[in-house]
């Protein structure tokens, strides 16, 4: 790097770090830093996914400061979904804005046919797929995203309305391991409120981009956001909602222990065949323990981020218990009944 460019970089870095002298900004940075440290990240290489909204711009600033102070390799990516005619121009405006702060943002374009229904769900899946592919190609294990505590509450109510089980209700955590993609999703802003992130974004960048879908009641998330406002008016405020989620998380952790014990005591791994053998006792545990243990093995063997739908898994477990089948395919796995045991191995892979 030329001396002139190096000096310009140092000036920009000093300007960014100077904001940390503000007590409120420093408090947010310390919360971010604590989250990174507590989650035992052994690498100094991160990928930051940003949308251009206030939460992601706040994350961008905090991650950039962390990289300067800790000499980290941090890269930033934005998805141009092209669902709106203005998305590409907005992506370029965002890129140019960040460039002024010494932040290089890589634009990833979602190409191909766009959905006409179930837009948010399909868009989310495609957005993550693009991010995962970039992370793998460039050897990034850790991906930082800007989910905050308001997102946590919204996600909880959405899953409650959908009738999710305990695992689904509390699965929105600070760290999610994606075994199939060999990546770890980090949510270091999960203790921060959106209002604080708006403050931080305005303080540093003087602006942020608004998502027009946030007010569109066609989308379930928008309706849930409005519902949460009404629930708060009825007394179910953030404090009570947070305590409810904590109580459920404690119960979830207890079940996780028995799930791990079930796999440890009642499952054998055949290395030569890359298969798992589940003995008869595996299926004699409480229903939730069996369901989770079975789902976990399906994800591991099939290499999927998500297992099959709960209804299909429950039906398979039921069929095994009543001896209704000998062999079937589910979630990229072959499930085969042999005597009183069940063998799980990857589909399209012959057993040796």
Q: 204: domain CATH number?
A: 3.40.50.620
Distance CA 316, CA 328 (A): 9
168 in the same domain as 25: yes
185 in the same domain as 64: yes
- SS3 call for 102: coil
Q: How many residues does the chain have?
A: 352
Answer for the pair 70, 58: CB distance below 8 angstroms, yes or no: no
Q: Which of 183, 203, 236 is the last residue of a domain?
A: 236
Residue 309 is predicted with a pLDDT of 78
224 in the same domain as 309: no
- SS3 call for 267: strand
Residue whose C-alpha is closest to residue 330's, from 300, 307, 348: 307
Mean pLDDT of the chain: 87
152 in the same domain as 276: no
Q: Is there a domain that residue 296 lies in? A: yes
Q: Is there a domain that residue 251 lies in? A: no
302 in the same domain as 205: no
List, for residues 130-156, the tens digit of each pLDDT value: 999 999 999 999 999 999 998 888 888
pTM over 0.85, yes/no: no
Q: Is there a domain that residue 243 lies in? A: no
Residue 4 is predicted with a pLDDT of 59
Q: How many domains does the chain have?
A: 2
Answer for the pair 75, 140: CB distance below 8 angstroms, yes or no: yes
305 in the same domain as 199: no
Q: How many CB atoms lie within 10 A of CB 313?
A: 19
286 in the same domain as 232: no
Find the range with the poorest average confidence among 20-24, 32-36, 244-248, 306-310: 306-310
Answer for the pair 278, 345: CB distance below 8 angstroms, yes or no: no
**CA-based max dimension of the chain:** 75
Distance, CA of 297 to chain centre? 20
Answer for the pair 166, 288: CB distance below 8 angstroms, yes or no: yes
Distance CA 48, CA 80 (A): 15
Q: Is there a domain that residue 29 lies in? A: yes
303 in the same domain as 162: no
Q: Helices marked H in the chain — which ranges?
A: 3-18, 23-38, 54-70, 87-99, 119-137, 149-161, 166-169, 194-205, 220-233, 238-266, 287-302, 310-321
Angle (nearest 5°) at CA 307 between 51 and 181: 50
181 in the same domain as 42: yes
List, for residues 244-276, the tens digit of each pLDDT value: 989 999 999 999 999 999 999 999 998 877 899
Q: Is there a domain that residue 241 lies in? A: no
pLDDT for residue 219 is more than 60? yes
Q: Which of 168, 201, 236 is the last residue of a domain?
A: 236
DSSP for residue 114: P
Q: Is there a domain that residue 324 lies in? A: yes
CA dist list (Å): 279 to 194, 257, 266, 322, 343: 48, 19, 6, 15, 9
Find the range with the poorest average confidence among 62-71, 288-297, 341-350: 341-350
Q: Is there a domain that residue 300 lies in? A: yes
Q: Which of 195, 221, 236 is the last residue of a domain?
A: 236
181 in the same domain as 47: yes
Distance CA 349, CA 352 (A): 9
Tokens of 326: 């000998």
DSSP 215-263: G-TTSHHHHHHHHHHHHHHTT--HHHHHHHHHHHHHHHHHHHHHHHHHH
pLDDT for residue 351 is more than 50? no
Secondary element (H or E) of residue 108: strand 105-109
Average pLDDT, integer, range 187-213: 89
Label residue 143 exposed, middle or buried (CB < 10 Å: 0-12, 13-18, 19+): buried
291 in the same domain as 157: no
| Placement of tokens 């980290």 in the chain | 72
List, for residues 160-181, the tens digit of each pLDDT value: 887 888 888 887 888 887 766 6
183 in the same domain as 99: yes
Q: Is there a domain that residue 135 lies in? A: yes
Distance CA 234, CA 226 (A): 13
Domain that holds residue 125: 3-236
């Amino acid at each position: 790097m030329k001396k002139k460019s190096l000096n310009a970089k140092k000036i920009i870095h000093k300007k960014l770090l100077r904001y940390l002298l503000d007590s409120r900004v420093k408090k947010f940075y310390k919360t971010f830093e604590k989250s990174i440290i507590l989650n035992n990240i052994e690498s100094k290489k991160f990928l930051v996914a940003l949308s251009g909204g206030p939460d992601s711009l706040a994350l961008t600033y905090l991650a950039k400061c962390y990289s300067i102070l800790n000499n980290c390799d941090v890269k930033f990516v934005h998805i141009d979904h092209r669902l709106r005619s203005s998305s590409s121009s907005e992506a370029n405006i965002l890129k140019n804005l960040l460039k002024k702060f010494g932040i290089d943002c890589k634009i990833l374009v979602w190409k191909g046919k766009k959905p006409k229904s179930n837009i948010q769900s399909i868009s989310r899946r495609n957005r993550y797929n693009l991010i995962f592919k970039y992370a793998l190609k460039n050897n990034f294990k850790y991906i930082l995203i800007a989910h905050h505590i308001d997102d946590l509450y919204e996600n909880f109510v959405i899953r409650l309305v959908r009738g999710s089980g305990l695992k689904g209700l509390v699965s929105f955590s600070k760290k999610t391991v994606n075994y199939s993609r060999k990546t770890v999703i980090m949510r270091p802003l999960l203790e921060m409120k959106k209002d604080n992130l708006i403050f931080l974004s305005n303080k540093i960048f003087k602006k942020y981009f608004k998502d027009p879908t946030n007010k569109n009641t066609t989308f379930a998330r928008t309706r849930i956001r409005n519902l949460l406002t009404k629930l708060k008016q009825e007394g179910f405020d953030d404090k009570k909602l947070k305590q409810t989620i904590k109580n459920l998380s404690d119960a979830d952790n207890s079940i996780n222990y028995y799930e791990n014990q079930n796999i440890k005591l009642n499952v054998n791994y055949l290395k030569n065949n890359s298969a798992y053998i589940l003995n008869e006792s595996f299926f004699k545990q409480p229903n939730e323990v069996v369901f989770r243990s079975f789902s976990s093995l399906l994800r591991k063997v099939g290499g999927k981020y998500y297992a099959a739908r709960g209804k299909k898994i429950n039906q398979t477990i039921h069929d095994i218990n009543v001896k209704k089948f000998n062999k079937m395919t589910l979630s990229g796995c072959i499930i085969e009944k042999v005597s009183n045991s069940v063998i799980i191995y990857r589909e399209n892979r012959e057993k040796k």
